[in-house]
Amino acid sequence: MSETIVETSTETEASGSGHASKYTRNQPYSSKVQVNRLLTGPESEKETIHIEMELEEGMDYTPGDALGVIPTNRDEAVQAVLKALGFDGTERVLDHYKVEISFLEALTSRLGIGKLARGSVNQYAKLAGENAPEALKALTGPANKAVAEEYVWGREFIDLITEFPGIIKNPQELFNVLQRLTPRMYSIASSQAAHPNQVQLTVRVVRYNSHGMERQGVTSGLLGERAPVGEMLPVFLHENNAFRLPEDTNAPIIMIGPGTGIAPFRAFLEHREALGHKGDNWLFFGEQRSVSDYLYKEQFLAMHASGLLTKLHTAFSRDQEKKIYVQDRMRENSAELYAWLERGAYFYVCGDATRMAKDVEQALLDTIALGSNGTLEQANEYLAAMKKQKRYQRDVY
């Protein structure tokens, strides 16, 4: 995590939380699901859900924070692995803390049997030793890195043990092969000023077909499929001091949040609304289609109508032949965007790290260069100064 630009990873392991709350990843809070509803319409190519969970008194978070959700592997996936390995799950193993548990429990809540890691393939081949099949050996070692990367793409542990069976002799060996099943972090989509005893999330349920099998994201699958109202989920709050509303409640903010990247901005807006903060708010939201993918449409339209959202721009990429993205809307409004920056606006980006965040940064640099009649080099200096003032913050994953 850098000083000024925050690069939180919403899908990876979190470090410790600085919260006063007594609950941590090792001692999570058991939270009751109160709402779990689909945000996307039937025509959507995606399945994005809104979840509300109950929090205990004293579990406080600030907009920008994340919620860690501790997943379990789904039963079908666990059973498939047991069957492929020829065990029944009653075998005893020692977990990462040397506590004895059943193999079934280990596969359910301790070991990452989802997405296959290259390291797991290496360890698996090591276990096989001299007897490793040639095709497995060909996936190991530095020279075969690229082939192995290609192999693990879209595959899970079940694919490896099905293709190269008979290598695991003792269930304990899996602790050397598989990564730990770790919590996933989701940017919180609500403000506690508006929902005192609740935390809300916006989650895209990841489902795909690869190598002839239907797959699910481990945690998003849990939230999408196994977290009906009333279900208890182990969670903990994760502080993110590097993604924060300005201390000056009158400072204008510009928020770029396509897809699930909208989550922390809903929290920001709810917060400013609940507390009557006067700063101007400008939201850019992007998704595939307005009819099915406009997340929190009514709420944002109401915020716009009330004046809380000073400006609201949407970019529905697939509503027309030529794709339109949030950065296109930025460019269309570049003069005003630059005027906001000159007024001291804070600029926030949340969502896809691989392409969107880079393209948005380029659009921001172009906006600055155009607005200031300067070079791209000068725009870079301008942006560097914004970062120093914590006026450019990102939560990308």
In this structure, are residues 48 and 251 in contact, taking their beta carbons and an 8 Å threshold?
A: no
**Cβ of residue 217: shortest distance to ligand NAP, in angstroms?**
6
**Which H or E run includes 187?**
strand 184-187
CA dist 228 and 391 (Å) reads 39
Helices (H) and strands (E) in the chain, counts: 15, 15
Of 277, 350, 339, nearest in space to 309 by CA: 277
In this structure, are residues 267 and 191 in contact, taking their beta carbons and an 8 Å threshold?
A: yes
In the list 28, 359, 370, 387, the residue contacting ligand NAP (rule: CB under 6 A) is 359
46 or 272: CB nearest ligand NAP: 46
In this structure, are residues 284 and 257 in contact, taking their beta carbons and an 8 Å threshold?
A: yes
- Contact string 120-159 vs ligand NAP (x = CB under 6 A): ----------------------------------------
Torsion of CA 153, 157, 160, 165, to 10 degrees: 180
272 or 329: CB nearest ligand NAP: 329
Return the range that interacts with ligand NAP (CB under 6 A); candidates 155-163, 172-180, 301-309, 349-357: 349-357
Contacts (Cβ under 8 Å, ≥6 apart) of 124: 136, 160, 164, 167, 177
177 or 360: CB nearest ligand NAP: 360
In this structure, are residues 66 and 1 in contact, taking their beta carbons and an 8 Å threshold?
A: no
Which DSSP symbol is given to 297? H
- Contact string 31-70 vs ligand NAP (x = CB under 6 A): ---------------x------------------------
Q: Which residue in the shown chain puts its C-beta closest to ligand NAP?
A: 259
103 or 392: CB nearest ligand NAP: 392
**Cβ of residue 205: shortest distance to ligand NAP, in angstroms?**
6
CA dist 20 and 22 (Å) reads 6
Of 260, 219, 271, nearest in space to 13 by CA: 219
In the list 288, 334, 367, 393, the residue contacting ligand NAP (rule: CB under 6 A) is 288
Region 205-224 residues binding ligand NAP, contact defined as CB under 6 A: 206, 217, 220
Return the range that interacts with ligand NAP (CB under 6 A); candidates 26-34, 70-78, 230-238, 347-355: 347-355
Is residue 260 part of the contact set for ligand NAP (CB under 6 A)? yes
Return the range that interacts with ligand NAP (CB under 6 A); candidates 258-266, 271-279, 299-307, 366-374: 258-266
**Cβ of residue 380: shortest distance to ligand NAP, in angstroms?**
20
Which DSSP symbol is given to 7? -
Is residue 71 part of the contact set for ligand NAP (CB under 6 A)? no
Burial, 118: exposed, middle or buried (Cβ in 10 Å; 0-12, 13-18, 19+)? middle
Of 50, 34, 38, nearest in space to 228 by CA: 34
- Report, in this order, helix, strand and coil percent for the chain, each rounded to 5: 35, 20, 40
CA dist 343 and 283 (Å) reads 17
Is residue 203 part of the contact set for ligand NAP (CB under 6 A)? yes
In the list 325, 338, 347, 392, the residue contacting ligand NAP (rule: CB under 6 A) is 325
Q: Which two tokens stand for residue 173?
A: 């060996």
In the list 64, 351, 379, 393, the residue contacting ligand NAP (rule: CB under 6 A) is 351
**Cβ of residue 250: shortest distance to ligand NAP, in angstroms?**
30
**Cβ of residue 174: shortest distance to ligand NAP, in angstroms?**
25
In this structure, are residues 132 and 121 in contact, taking their beta carbons and an 8 Å threshold?
A: no
| Distance, C-alpha 344 to centroid of its chain | 29
Return the range that interacts with ligand NAP (CB under 6 A); candidates 145-153, 241-249, 253-261, 376-384: 253-261
* Binding interface with ligand NAP (CB under 6 A): 46, 203-204, 206, 217, 220, 258-261, 286-288, 317-318, 323, 325-327, 351-352, 355-356, 359, 397
